[in-house]
Amino acid sequence: MKTYTPKTNVTGCLMSEKYNGIFCHWTGYLLRSKNGNIFNAPKSFTDQLPDGMPFRGELYIPGAGFEAIKNTVQNGGDWSAICIMVFHAVIHSPVCRIIEYTRCTSTDAAQRFFETVTAAGGEGIVLTDPNGTEYKMKNFIDDEAKALELIGNSLHCLWQGKRIKLGGSIAKKSRALIEAGKQITFRYTELTSSGLPFQPRFVTVRDYE
């Protein structure tokens, strides 16, 4: 997914809310992650998904943050609160919710929709152009990097061939998961004039995909 910029042509795109969950792919028989790993979902959950009908979506817990869904998926917790926000498909299942899409008519329309979603507590929006390219619009930018080493309270990472230092509070549990070479998610607001993320902050270890 690409990041929206003021140069992005959004006219004719489909707009939808961006949900802060974990990408999933139902093959019709197995529930897989972005990297193809099989989620350890309980049979009571997967039995409610349509046999032989593949679709993609986001594992999501309404009203909860990302850590809640991550902990449930990783630690074999209670999946009763989890639903799948389904991308570009109509799936009839008690554990699925269909994402609502609105046709974008202008940059101003996209901005108004973004403000409405974020004012209600949403993370941001997704704009899908006629070719299927997706652009995310958020008040911040999420990206991925490869962990190098922890030095004090800072995590040094490799991002696009450049060494960067992430700030932010890193919980003891996350510190225990960080190893050289692990993929992590970090967050920043903009790029500096030298092309580096401005005030990048650690978010999570990507050990759930």
Residues 11 and 114 placed together within one structural domain of the fold: yes
Q: Is the confidence at residue 6, as pLDDT, over 90?
A: no
Query: How does DSSP assign 38-93, residue by residue?
Result: BP---HHHHTTSPTT--EEEEEE-TT--HHHHHHHHHHT--GGG-EEEESSS----
Task: Give residue 64's pLDDT.
Answer: 83
Residues 84 and 146 placed together within one structural domain of the fold: no
| Tens digits of residue pLDDT in 39-85 | 999 999 999 999 999 999 999 999 887 888 988 998 888 999 999 99
Supply 165's token pair: 């230092």
Residues 6 and 64 placed together within one structural domain of the fold: no
Residues 11 and 113 placed together within one structural domain of the fold: yes
Distance of CA 203 to the CA centre of its chain: 12
Q: Strand 83-86 vs strand 96-98: parallel, antiparallel, or unpaired?
A: parallel
The angle subtended at Cα 201 by Cα 68 and Cα 8, nearest 5°, is 90
Q: Is the confidence at residue 190, as pLDDT, over 80?
A: no
Domain range for 201? 141-205
Task: Give residue 170's pLDDT.
Answer: 82
Q: For residue 47, give Cα distances in angstroms to 30, 43, 72.
A: 10, 6, 18
Residues 160 and 185 placed together within one structural domain of the fold: yes
Residues 73 and 107 placed together within one structural domain of the fold: no
Q: Which of 44, 76, 98 is the last residue in one of the domains?
A: 98
Residues 122 and 145 placed together within one structural domain of the fold: no
Instruction: Read off the CATH number of the domain in which 49 is found.
Output: 3.30.470.30
Residues 115 and 184 placed together within one structural domain of the fold: no
Residues 160 and 193 placed together within one structural domain of the fold: yes
Residues 114 and 162 placed together within one structural domain of the fold: no
**Which is it for the CA torsion 9, 143, 169, 194, positive or negative?**
negative
Q: Which of 71, 98, 125 is the last residue in one of the domains?
A: 98
Q: Is the confidence at residue 193, as pLDDT, over 80?
A: no
| Tens digits of residue pLDDT in 120-164 | 988 899 999 999 999 999 888 889 999 999 988 889 999 999 999
| Tens digits of residue pLDDT in 89-112 | 999 999 999 999 999 999 999 999
Instruction: Read off the CATH number of the domain in which 163 is found.
Output: 2.40.50.140
| Tens digits of residue pLDDT in 8-32 | 999 999 999 999 899 999 999 999 9
Residues 36 and 86 placed together within one structural domain of the fold: yes
Q: pTM of the predicted model, to two decimals?
A: 0.73
Q: What percent of the chain has pLDDT over 70?
A: 100
Q: Which of 43, 72, 98 is the last residue in one of the domains?
A: 98
Q: How far apart are CA 163 and CA 122, in angstroms?
A: 32
Q: Is the confidence at residue 173, as pLDDT, over 80?
A: no
Question: Total structural domains in the chain?
Answer: 3
Residues 45 and 85 placed together within one structural domain of the fold: yes
